[in-house]
Each structure stands twice: as C-alpha cells, then as structure tokens.
Chain A
C-alpha cells in the first residue's frame, strides 16, 4: 500500500513538474480511507502552520463572510501548507463576535467557515482534509466583553487535528 502511494506521488510529482512551484499536489487517497496519523504532535504542526502562513486565523467584518484581499493572501499560504502536509486534517472553525443571537451566530460561523473551506479547496486542498465546525459566539478570542473586542472575535481559525 505504502509503495503504491509513493509510486502515485512520484507519478504526480513528475506530471506536476511542468508547473514549478514550492509544493506538489498530494497523492490521491482512496475515498473513505482513514488518513495516516501525522508523525509530529499537533501543537508542533500548528506552530509550523502559523510560522509558514503567518497566522492560522482570518478575520471578518461585522456579520460578513466575505474574504478580504489580506485574507486571501493568508489563505493561499495556509492552503500551500495544508497541501504540503496531506496527512494532517484540520477543523475550519468559524466564530461570530457576540453581537447576534446565539442561533444566528452559529449560522454565521458556519457561513464563514464554509467560505474559507471553499477557498482552500479551490486552492488545491483535498476536501476530505477539511472539516467545518462553527462555534458561533461560544468561544470568543478575548476574555473581555466590550466594543473593542468584536473584530478579534469575528474570525475563522484553521485548527489542526489528529
């Protein structure tokens, strides 16, 4: 099995060499097959993602799920990292800022996470590598609750997992 995957990866690498880039596309996985676990611990990988992509987070305007040009640059870098680590799965965690009702915050968090996941997939990340979790307004980024905290809470975080 491993030999087949390596062979497939080599073939893909060869076919992709016509378009030089820092990352090769990942080997295709049989549908439904469990992904092999990552060798490095998740916190180490998460730190590496933050270092390489600059951040594991993108932010949003009030009640918006539109991706800003800065967000797109960050997501492109995050996509490259995820493509280079095909055995690391990630939760795309959507958050709302706390200026909505609970149910609307959950829906808004899902919308934001879906927008990010769609962009990452369009950037070449395999869909099965990315799961969506909306936390609504249940996991604010800041301990304080006042007007200056809203923008920090409106966010999507790429959270790596086993």
Chain B
C-alpha cells in the first residue's frame, strides 16, 4: 500500500504544521530531525554531529520541493539518541503533527569514511516505509542525503525523487551565428558540471539512457549529421546508425534497449526505431510529411510524436510498432517536442504561434491541456523521474541567448539551473539506482 493512500495520514495544508505549503492539495508532513551520531568525531568532511544536521537539512529541503510532501526542518524538532534510529519513540513524533519521521545516524569508521543510515517511519501505523544506508567519504555526505530523499520520495509517492539526478544539455559559447556547442552534464542543482565533447563539431539533443550509463546525441561531425552514442563519461563514442540521410531526435525506450529517432532524406522525415546497441532500423511512420520528436510512454508500449501530416505540426500517438497512429492535439498554432511523463499521466510539449514558444501539458488522450510557462521562447520539455518537474530551454528575445530552467507542473515560477554559460536542449536523467 502506498503511504498517501492512507487518508488518515494526510494532513491538509490548512493545518498549522503545514501552514507554509505552496498549494492547497493534501500533502504528507514529514519530520526530519537531526541525524544523531554515536560519537562526535572530526572527519575531513567536518564533525559527524554537524554532518548529521546537514544531512537532515538537505533531506528536509529536498522533500519540501515535492508537490506531495511538506517537511519540518531539523531546527524545529527535538534531538534523539542513535539507539532510536531502529526503534523510534512514535509518541514523541506524533506531537509534531507529522505523519512520518526520518531517523538514522552518522558514524565515523576506522577507515576514514562514514556510515550514513536513514529510515522513514510511518508514525501512525508504526512501521518502516523505506531505508537507505551508505558508506562514503565524509565529503560526499550530500549525495548520500539526496539518495535518502530519493528513496523516501519513492516510499511516499510511488515515484523516485529527482534529488540525485543529472541534466544533460548543450553548453553554448561563441557567437549566435557561429556558436560552439558541447554536450555537458551537471547535477540538477548545478553542482559537478562536466563537458563531454570538445566543441570542435556542433552537437544537439543529448539524451541520457534510463540507467544513466550512456548518452545519445546528434553530431554534425563528418558529413551527414547523425545520432551518436557515448558512455556517460564521454568515452566509447560511436555512430548509432549509418544511414543515407540525416538522423536526429533520439529517444531511449524506458528499458534503454531501443532508440526511436527521425531520419530525413529527400525532403521527407520519418520515425524509426532500432536496438540502442546498433542493428537495422525499423520504420514506424510512412507519411510524406515531417514525423519527428518521438517519446516513449513509461511502459514502452506507445510513442508520442510530432507530425505535420495534417498541414501544421501537431501531436500524435502510436503503438511502439507504428500501428494505430492517432492525433491527440487540436488547439490553434503548432505543437511539438512531446515528452511522456514517467508517471504516464501527462504529455509535456512545446506549443507555438507567432514568435512565441511555450511549454504545456495535456493528458495522453489530448484532454486537460494547460500552459506551464510564459517566456518568449520556452521549448523542449524533459521530465524529472518524479513526474512532477520539467526541465526546458528558455531563449531571451534580443540576445537570443538561452538558459536551462526547471519548473513544477503544479505551478510556480521556473528556476534557472546555474550553469557556466548559455545552455540549450536539456534532458533529465532517470532516478538514482
């Protein structure tokens, strides 16, 4: 049973404990007291007692950003002894008004590393919901905290969090008419930025495989532009397919075994699918128009894509073998770059008319369309593994410079991802394993 299915555990946002909640929908309140340490030891990452407080702050901050969770920060909560990590005193936590509590400990080891243990308990039902344990160098406590929060998000909502995820994007330098573009990867919070290509050739559309091990992207190197695949550290770079025409717009299947993409030749663009390790492409569309920007449903059985077979670009859904092609968008203007949410409940897209490009979402049957962003040119949405957040590209009018933003589909202002320079064409990785 999922935690949020238990109605009595839900606390409405209007109650005092959740007074700062951003929306009025039901949220689970999670108390995150400081993680205790059996013995306060100096490590190269600081004292274990301090690390315990920082980990709790990080988990509370991560969980607070979720649409379904409200967290109580460690500075508002009592401390407890490490013994209680495996056996919480539930009545103490009931008083906080929370429905769940995060407990655990930080312990220094003889080898210089630290053990980080974290548990999520259902206070009313008095049971463990989720747990994680790590042995890490003391300086890497933050990543351990993010992975605890990811696991707790999964325990509460059924979908993993995005707190230990990466964003692949195209880093842009040089001028607008002669840009230098490099594939780069960065943690979603802007830390640990790395370039994966050197910029000697133009690259587009990096997409991280679901297991995080590979990146598919489009390259203009050596003649006809084509899709290439490399390991996530930039090694082992090779072409996906040797084709007569231009291959572009790669999309991994949810199991990572297939890549759907577009092939353009003789003025006609169609969608193909092939094994992500190579092989013969299988043709999925056969219209004389442009069929492009495929995106798999989370169960891999369907593909949403962009097609102008009806005159102007609109969204269509088909079975993954190409059968049953059906139009789902019918609004004015054009629709493109669809992305099927990992929950399966929504399709994010770019809708454009005039000069404006905006991000919106709709149900897979085309109903319930609503706008998410309102920039001059916002495009290319990609889902976080929680199915709650999108990353997209925003271009400024005038300068033409673009940047990468994240936004909650529940509403609110987009947040700019801190990058060394301009960035475009982002895609969010899957959840941490």
**A interface residues with partner B (beta carbon < 8 Å):** 63, 65, 98-104, 106-108, 110-111, 114-115, 118, 131-134, 136, 138-147, 150
Question: Is B249's CB within 8 Å of the partner chain A?
Answer: yes
Contact (Cβ within 8 A) A143 B177: yes
20 pairs across A/B with beta carbons < 8 Å?
Answer: A99-B355, A101-B313, A101-B350, A101-B352, A101-B380, A102-B425, A103-B337, A104-B290, A104-B306, A104-B308, A104-B334, A110-B265, A132-B246, A133-B220, A138-B202, A140-B176, A143-B176, A145-B396, A145-B399, A147-B355
Residues of chain B at interface, number, CB under 8 A: 49
Residues 194-233 of chain B, each 1 if its beta carbon lies under 8 Å from chain A, else 0: 0000000010110000000000000010011100000000
> Whole-angstrom distance from the CB of A58 to the nearest CB of chain B?
15
Chain A residues in 8 Å Cβ range of B397: 145-146
Chain A at the B interface: SS class = mixed
Query: What 14 additional pairs, Cβ within 8 angstroms, besides A132-B224, A134-B225?
Result: A65-B267, A99-B355, A100-B336, A101-B350, A102-B204, A104-B336, A106-B204, A110-B267, A138-B179, A138-B204, A140-B176, A141-B177, A143-B175, A145-B396
Contact (Cβ within 8 A) A145 B400: yes
Chain B residues in 8 Å Cβ range of A131: 223-224
Contact flag A107-B264 (CB < 8 Å), given A140-B400, A143-B175, A143-B400 = yes
Contact (Cβ within 8 A) B223 A103: no
Interface centre among B178, B268, B380, B400 (most CB of A within 10 A): B400
Chain A residues in 8 Å Cβ range of B204: 102, 106, 136, 138
Chain B residues in 8 Å Cβ range of A104: 290, 292-293, 306, 308, 313, 334, 336
Residues facing A in B378-410 (CB within 8 A) are: 379-380, 395-400
Contact (Cβ within 8 A) A102 B266: no
Residues facing A in B253-268 (CB within 8 A) are: 262, 264-268
A132 to B267, alpha carbons, bound, how many Å?
10
Summed over the interface, the residue pairs from A and B with CB atoms below 8 Å come to a total of 119
A104 to B225, alpha carbons, bound, how many Å?
15
Contact (Cβ within 8 A) B249 A103: yes
Question: Is B58's CB within 8 Å of the partner chain A?
Answer: no
Contact (Cβ within 8 A) B224 A103: no
